[in-house]
Structure formats: structure tokens, C-alpha cells
Amino acid sequence: MTVEAGEDFGPWLARQLKLARMTQTQLALAVDVTRAAVSAWITGRATPRPETIERIAQALNTDLATVHTRTTDTLAGLPVGWYHRPGHADGGRELGNAAAFAFDADVGVLARETCQNSLDERLAENGRPVRVRYTLHELTGEALGAFRKAILWDELHPHYMAVSKAASQQKVGRVVDAGVRDMFEKGRLVLLRIDDYNASGLTGDDYGDGKFSAVVRRQLESLKSGRGAGGSYGLGKATLWATSALGMVLINSTLSVPHEGRTERRVIGRLELPWRFIEGRPYAGPAWLGRPDPDSPGAEVARSWWADEEMVERLHLARDSDEPGTSFLIVGAHDVASLDQSTLDLDADEEDGSDDGTRDIRAMHRRLVEALGRDFWAAMTGGGSRLPLLETSVRTLRNGEVVIEEEKVDPTDAQPSRTRALRAFYDGTTVDRLTEAGQVALRTVPLRLPLSGGRRGTLGTHPAVLLVTDAEDADGTSNQVHSLRGNRMTIKKSGVAGLPLGVNAFQAVLLVGQAAGESAPFAEEAEEFLRAAEPPEHDRWGQTEELTLRWSHTAHHRIARLTTEVNAAVKDLVARPKRSGGQGGAKLRKALTVPRKTAPRRHSGPVLPELDGLDASIGASGEWQITAEVKLPRGGDELPAMTPVVLLDVRSGSRPKLDWAELVAVEGCEVEDGVLRFTPRARRAIFRGSTDVASHPVRTALTRLVLELRAGKGSEA
């Protein structure tokens, strides 16, 4: 019999001795060999004979197959259990993971963050997409009891009870208390598992710098290296724990790079609870499910372990193949938005005999599918020489039985117009102008990249790609621009201000950075710049601290200018040809509810800035969306501050004033407390804003708009 299998015999044997707290001398005595022989096995200078292997198995209290295959650790010595971080010696307390408060307990947010992370970890060398599958699994009865036993619930119970007692004083505690009560009072527990395949897996040591420790051990650490990566804050992983009402996530990773000579079934769990006091001992918050580390004092630190197939089955962590990637199991998954949505299915589900729990998981299933199609349609779209980066699916089970069959998310169903536009770009079938239904028009729009370090000037101009096509009903809100960069996740969704009346409904896509083509000029630099301009939610581009530190406090003006250029290009592409004669023009002028230009109020003294252009449209929520251009007088470096005031035009009486919901500078000015302060020596300024619908006295479509520019803070002018 020969010694062959997974991990090399020497490293495997050394770890088993540590786990069993057995010395080389003790093993030598147990198997009747010299200590030098054991040392030779561990260093790889020799291998034991078959009859010696049998005695080694007996000494380690394991079976012969475990020693031969070496695909898992023996059960001798230190068992798998929960390690709870002790309370801080200085009395400090964490009443929850602050990173988790950056996001809502929303499966739509969870899908966005986890799918983005999987895209960033995709193994791009083989050209295949990363496959991400979401599995909702409701457990009841015996299945729930077996799972609680697998996660060592009895060991955790005192900790949960301590948190529940303090629930009235802690937000996290109230969520955990509700999760525990839901499990016991309703006799149900929802698991949500996210599996990705063709991804790197959680590589690296348990404690060193690597992907494993960044996800499992640390907060606010992002190891995303590629400029096309989506994440940069290290916050996205917190959505996993935020979605768990019990604060528990279990992990099984298949590694793309071996660790300790192994790749499959690297398992660990992490629990996020508030500070608690149990049996006279304080605990800081987090806990880990793992094997006690024999190298730590008193073995009071848990590390990942190589689980066997039976263990991952019991933990509901079994993977479909040995393809690299990671499975995250959210224990006690909850979604506040789905609770409201599930009531919509009440009548239909009652006819089928479904209960409240089934309605909940059906609503969560639907929201996951919608979120994936909304945010990742472009990553799932291929064409020409471009392959999709992503495949996603959702399935729903109850006690192992199928409730909803696995549903593959199809971008052509979720976003038909935008998918058509992107494929036309990949296939090279775009046109310069829209003349027929179904065409896709292309226009390049400049993004002028600033020099870093606060230096004046432009590094270069990156040609972003704008695609415009007719809208279809399935696209949702029409007349929007979806902006994305290298990983093809939708970053920004925005309407187009100042559209002419009567334009056909359209959808637009803006491809920036590597999404515009890796060979596009300054594509990598655009990726780096825009990535720094994204907040933790990755849902817009604008001023951020990183953008200010690495470039300048005015660098975001370049992005605002890009938006202005995009809107102008869209309006040019969708505008209908002008009619000849005066009748059509008169009808159009009569229908307009927004004046193209408003005369400024005259003031004595120096010449004041005055409005020189105005575009306005009604947004999806009924707000006025306004873009205004201000002509600045020549001479003098200091211009008076001006306040833009938006009013409703009425036939008699005073004009009702509307409040601003948003007011931002685009070019040549800055906004401070609703006041415009102009850049010295600038010849013009542009600002945009949207009104607060709550301040509208009547429905917006029935009103006309007046915009005034008043000196000073505007209230007295």
C-alpha cells in the first residue's frame, strides 16, 4: 500500500499532532519507532510503511482511510466549536458592527454587494463568466432541529439570551431578539446561501494578509487590486451579516490557490453580536466557529478547518463541484421590504395552501431576481468578441423540497432595450442617428481627466461611449441614462433634464473606463478616477473624500461636466426634426410650461451675475429637474453670492416658493447652504437642482416654473 492523496503527508501529520496536542516523541512511542523517524516523515525525507500507517491511525484515534487520503483533519484533540472574543481590558464596548449599519437589511442591497464582489473575484484567465446562485431555504420541524444541532445551538444559547435581555437598549439586540423569537415561536428559519463558481475563493492564511482574513477577520479592508474592480471600501461583506437576523454567516470555500496543500471545504463561521456579559465574563462581540488553534495561548482562537463531506452537508454548505469559489450561508435571513411585498401574494397563496413563511420566501425570491436584472444586466450581456462576465440564478426550497425552480436571470427580459443597445455596440451595428425603430445610436462623450495631487491641467481625454435606443415597456422608467464602468455593474441612474416636448421614449447607456473598451484612450485612468468618486453604495459619481485627497476639491466638476455633455448628446440624438412654418412652432411654445429664460431682477450698484439659460423637466417623482447657466460679468475677482429661488408662476397674487431637494454646482461655482459662490475670473457658471415635491402646492404637471437669481442669501432680495 502506498501513501497517496491530497495534502502532503508531512504537513498533514504535523498539524494532526498539534490538534491532538501530541509531541513527536509521544507519537514515536505509540507507533514503536524512533523520534528521528517521525521527524523524517514530517520533513518529507521519508514516508511510513503500510503497517506503520495503521498504528499512526490508531494513535490519532482515526480511521485508516483518513490517514491515506488526508483530505480532512482527524477528530482527535481539539474539537470544532465557537470561540467568543473576550471583552476589552479597558472596558470598551461595541454594541454591534458599525460597518453593517452602512446598508439596510435588504436582499436587493445584498444582491448588489455580493454579486459585485463575485465579479471582482472572477477568474478571468479562462474567459468564462463567474456563476452566482442564490438559494433561499426555509427549515421547519426536524430539518430545523438538525441544523440547530449542527451549528451547536446549545453552546450559543446563553449568548443569545444575554443579548435578548438587553434588547431594549440596543438596536442590534432588538433585531437578534426578534430573529430568535421568530425561529422558536413560528418554528421556522430562513437560510440564504450565495454560491459563486469560477472565482478565486478565500485564499491566504487565517491571520496574514490575504482574502480569507480580509473577509473573515477584518473590517474596512478591501484587497481589490484591479482598476475595474467594483468595491474599494471593504464594506460590502458587511451586508451578509446585516441580512442575518441572528448575526450569523457560515462559509465554505474552494480555493483557486492551495493552502496547507488543500483546496476543498475550507470552512469557518462568524457571528456578530453586541457586547454581552455571561457568567461573570464580558465578551466583546464577534465569535468564530472553527477549530481551536493549537498555536495560540490556551487554544482560545478558532481557525478555519478542512471539513469532511458529511459536515458541509449538515451545515447546508455542500457545493455542486470542485470549481473554485465560495459559499456564504446567511442564517436567519430577513428582508424588511419583502415583508410588505409578500402581502401582495396573499390571495393567490391561500388558494395554494401556502402559509406566511412561504409567502415571505416567494417575495424574497422575486426581489432577488429583480435586483440582479436591474443592476447586473450589462455584466450578463455578451456580443461580438465580448463574453458575459456573469451568470446568476435564484432558487427557493423548503426542507429540501423545491418551492420555486431555479430561475436564471435573463438580461433581455430584465432590460430589453439596454441589452439591445449594448449588444449593438459589441457587434458593431450602431448608427449615427436614429431613423428607424430598434436602431442604436452611438456618440462619444469626453471625460477630461484631471492631474492628480491637486495639480492644474488635464491628464488626457477619455472618450466615453453613449448608446441611445427606443424604450420598451419592460425597461421600467424611460428616458434614463444607466452609467457603468469596467465590471459592468450599473453605477448611476439619472434622468435627462430639459428634454424637448414630444420626444419618443428612449433608454440610454453610458460606458466609461474599461467598459468603453480596454483599448480606449485613458481607460484605466478613467476607471481609477471614477472608482474614487463612488460612495460605499457605489450608486453615483461625485465628490468623495478620496477624490479630494488624491486629485483636488474641484475634481468632481469633471464628472459634472461629463453629465452635462451626456445630456446634451442625448437631447441631440432624440430630438425630432424641426417643423417648417410658424404654426407648429406656435403650438409648441403654447404647450411649454417652463420659460427658456427668465429675466433677472435688477439691483443698483455693481453688475450682477444673471441667468442666461434654463432647461427644466418633470422627474419621475413629480419634481422639477432644473439645469441653469449663469452669465458672469467681466472684471473683478470677487462676485457677490447669489441665491437661486424657484417659484410657481401664477396669474395673480404672490408666487409660491418651492424648496430645493438638491442643489449642486456643475461648473464655475460652488454651492454652500443653498447659495452660489462663483469661481474668480470665470465667464460662466452652471448649476442644477431638483425641487422638493413636499413643497409643491399643486401637481407639478399643472404648473409653470419661474427661476430667479437673487443677490445675497435671497430671502430679503
Q: Are strands 188-197 and 266-272 parallel, antiparallel or unpaired?
A: unpaired
Residue 143: all three cell numbers together: 430539518
Q: Which run of H or of E encompasses 240?
A: helix 238-242
What are residue 272's DSSP bridge partners?
286
Cell numbers for 86, please give them: 473576550
Give SS3 for 495.
strand
Q: What pLDDT does residue 354 have?
A: 55
Asked if 708 contacts 601 with a C-beta cutoff of 8 angstroms, the reply is: yes
* Burial class of 189 by CB neighbour count within 10 A (0 to 12, 13 to 18, 19+): buried
Tens of pLDDT, residue by residue over 170-227, are 666 788 888 898 899 999 999 999 999 999 999 998 888 888 888 888 765 555 544 4
User: pLDDT confidence of 71, banded at 50, 70, 90?
Assistant: confident
pLDDT in tens, 388-414: 999 999 999 999 999 999 999 999 999
Average model confidence (pLDDT) for the chain?
Answer: 83
Q: Name the pairing type of β-strands 458-470 and 490-495.
A: unpaired
Inter-residue contact 197 to 130 (CB < 8 Å): yes
Structure confidence by residue, pLDDT tens digits, 525-571: 999 999 999 887 788 898 888 899 999 989 999 999 999 999 999 99
* Angle subtended at Cα 664 by Cα 606 and Cα 530, rounded to the nearest 5 degrees: 130
Residue (of 496, 473, 465, 364) closest to 414 by Cα position: 473
Highest-confidence segment of 15-19, 48-52, 376-380, 662-666? 376-380
Within 497-639, residue ranges assigned H as helices are 523-532, 545-550, 556-574, 583-591
Is 499 within 8 Å of 526 (Cβ atoms)? Answer: no
Query: In this structure, what C-alpha cell is assigned to residue 542?
Result: 461625485
Provide the Cα torsion 79, 81, 87, 93; round to 10°: 160
Q: Pick from 388, 376, 373: which is nearest to 124 by CA? A: 388
Domains of the chain from N-terminus onward: 9-77 (1.10.260.40), 82-384 (no CATH), 416-574 (no CATH), 587-711 (2.60.40)
- Residue 9: band (very low, low, confident or very high) from pLDDT cuts 50, 70, 90: confident
Q: Where are the beta strands (DSSP E) in 145-254?
A: 188-197, 244-254
What is the Rg, in whole angstroms, of the alpha carbon atoms belonging to the chain?
31
CA distances to 610, 639, 643 from 716, in Å: 18, 19, 11
Compute the C-alpha angle 31/20/305, nearest 5°: 125
pLDDT at 338: 54
d(CA 348, CA 686): 53
Whether residue 606 has pLDDT greater than 80: no
CA-to-CA distance for 63 and 79, rounded, in angstroms?
17
Q: How confident is the model at residue 228 (pLDDT cuts 50, 70, 90)?
A: very low
> Is the per-residue pLDDT at 607 higher than 80?
no
For 347, 607, 647, 675, the CA distances from 708, given in Å and listed in that order, are 53, 16, 8, 13
- If DSSP codes are grouped into helix, strand and coil, which group holds residue 711? strand
Return the DSSP state at 383: B
Place of cell 434588547: 167
Task: Average the pLDDT over 671-698 and give the result.
Answer: 86
Residue among 516, 535, 524 nearest 464 (CA):
516
From the number of C-beta atoms within 10 Å of its C-beta (0-12, 13-18, 19+), residue 517 rates as middle
How close are the terminal C-alpha atoms of the chain, in Å? 96
Q: Which of 135-149, 267-281, 663-677 has the highest mean pLDDT?
A: 135-149
C-alpha cell at 386: 465580448
- What is the mean pLDDT of the segment spanning 569-588? 59
At 349, the pLDDT band (50, 70, 90 cuts) reads very low
Inform me whether the pLDDT recorded for 233 exceeds 50.
no
Q: Which of the pair, 61 or 223, is modelled with greater confidence?
A: 61
By three-state DSSP, how is residue 181 classified?
A: helix
Length in residues, the chain: 717
pTM over 0.75: no
How far is it, in rounded angstroms, from Cα 24 to Cα 673? 72
Cell numbers 459585485 label which residue? 116
Q: Which of 236, 219, 230 is nearest to 96 (CA)?
A: 219
Stretch (H or E) spanning 447 = strand 440-450
> What residue type is 486 in one-letter code?
G
Q: How far is CA 445 from the centre of its chain?
A: 27
Which pLDDT value is given to residue 103? 53
Look up residue 4 and give its three cell numbers: 497517496
Asked if residues 312 and 327 have their Cβ atoms less than 8 Å apart, the reply is no
Sign for the CA dihedral angle at 376, 514, 546, 556 comes to negative
Phi, psi of 456 (to 5 degrees): -75, 150
- The set of residues, in sequence order, having a beta carbon less than 8 Å from that of 603 and lying 6+ positions away, is 711, 717
The DSSP element (H or E) to which 42 belongs, if any, is helix 35-43
Question: Which of 44-48, 410-414, 533-537, 660-664 reaches the highest mean pLDDT?
Answer: 410-414
Strands 506-511 and 490-495: unpaired
**Going by C-beta distance under 8 Å and a sequence separation of 6 or more, which residues neighbour residue 456?**
none
CA–CA separation, 376 and 373 (whole Å): 6
Matching residue, cell 439591445: 420
